[in-house]
Amino acid sequence: MRFAILDLDGTIVDSMGYWRGFEKAFLLENGIKEENIKKLSKNDWIGSDWIEALCGFFNAEYGFSLTPEKFHQWGIDFMMRKYAEVIDFKPGAKDLLDKLKAQGVKMCICSSTDRSIMEPVLQKYDLDKYFQFTLHCRQFGREKNEPETFFYCMERLGATKPEEVAVFEDALYSASTAKEAGFYVVGMYDVNEKHTTELEKIADQYVTDYAQLDFDRLPE
């Protein structure tokens, strides 16, 4: 294999549980006991900006004076702390990166997370040494449900066709986009992905530990 595009959260590092749980973490950190935490009903925020809806719910339910800007910044700070202090590799990910680098595979990170937020984990594990570049969807202007995102990464890595490139993903929506565009897809199990059965079906290989990966089946 000569080219690889890898997601970060849930694929290289085990961080999705923190991304999916920081609303609860905010309440716990601000003195709300777990037994008093109520879930926000989807009906409470349909048609609304979710951060505004969440702030309104927290303010009404728990007496906070929370603004969307304040909560957004808290979420960024929370994730940066977790990246720096506790978030670790997914099973076999470190060995995978070392092996691909030793084989001269050109790699990039393609992530919906901003570079500035993930910086602590990049520095902690010296991840930049493995990658030609990191691409971040918000700055790029396209998300991973748009095949152009993967084609841009492919071309920047130096590949000429998608079947030359392995895309590593834990999320069905982005893996499906890559698969439909002709890329080779490696699915990584993550407990926070609700569509693991569908992901396993569409992936060319699906693993719970990268030690299970069959390198002989990867693109040439």
Residue 112, domain CATH: 3.40.50.1000
Q: Which of 85, 108, 142 is the C-terminal boundary of a domain?
A: 85
Lowest-confidence segment of 19-23, 176-180, 190-194, 212-216 by average pLDDT: 19-23
Which amino acid would we find at residue 166? A
pLDDT of residue 214: 98
Residue 145 tokens read as 């449900």
Residue 48 has pLDDT above 70, yes or no: no
Answer yes or no: do 118 and 180 share one domain.
Answer: yes
Please indicate, yes or no, whether residues 54 and 129 belong to a single structural domain of this protein: no
Q: Residue 41: what pLDDT?
A: 55
Same domain? 103 vs 50 = no
Domain span including residue 29:
17-85
Q: Are residues 101 and 75 in the same domain?
A: no
Shared domain for 72 and 100, answered yes or no, is no
Q: Please give the backbone phi and psi of residue 213, each rounded to the nearest 5 degrees, phi first.
A: -70, 130
- What pLDDT, on the 0 to 100 scale, is given for residue 25? 87
In tens, the pLDDT along 151-207 reads 999 999 999 999 999 999 999 999 999 999 999 999 999 999 999 999 999 999 999
| Domain termination residue (choose one: 25, 50, 85) | 85
Do 44 and 102 share a domain, yes or no?
A: no
Decide if pLDDT at 47 tops 60.
Answer: no
Q: Which of 170, 178, 180 is nearest to 200 (CA)?
A: 170
Nearest Cα neighbor of 171 from 163, 179, 161 is 179
On average, the pLDDT of the chain sits at 92
Q: Are residues 129 and 174 in the same domain?
A: yes
pLDDT at 37: 79
Confidence class for position 40, pLDDT limits 50, 70, 90: low
Per residue in 66-114, pLDDT tens? Answer: 998 999 899 999 999 999 999 999 999 999 999 999 999 999 999 999 9
Same domain, 96 and 32: no
**Mean pLDDT confidence for 124-150:** 96
65 and 100 in a single domain? The answer is no
Domain end marker among 85, 108, 127? 85
Q: Does 27 share its domain with 9?
A: no
Same domain, yes or no: 46 and 35:
yes
pLDDT at residue 43 is higher than 60: no
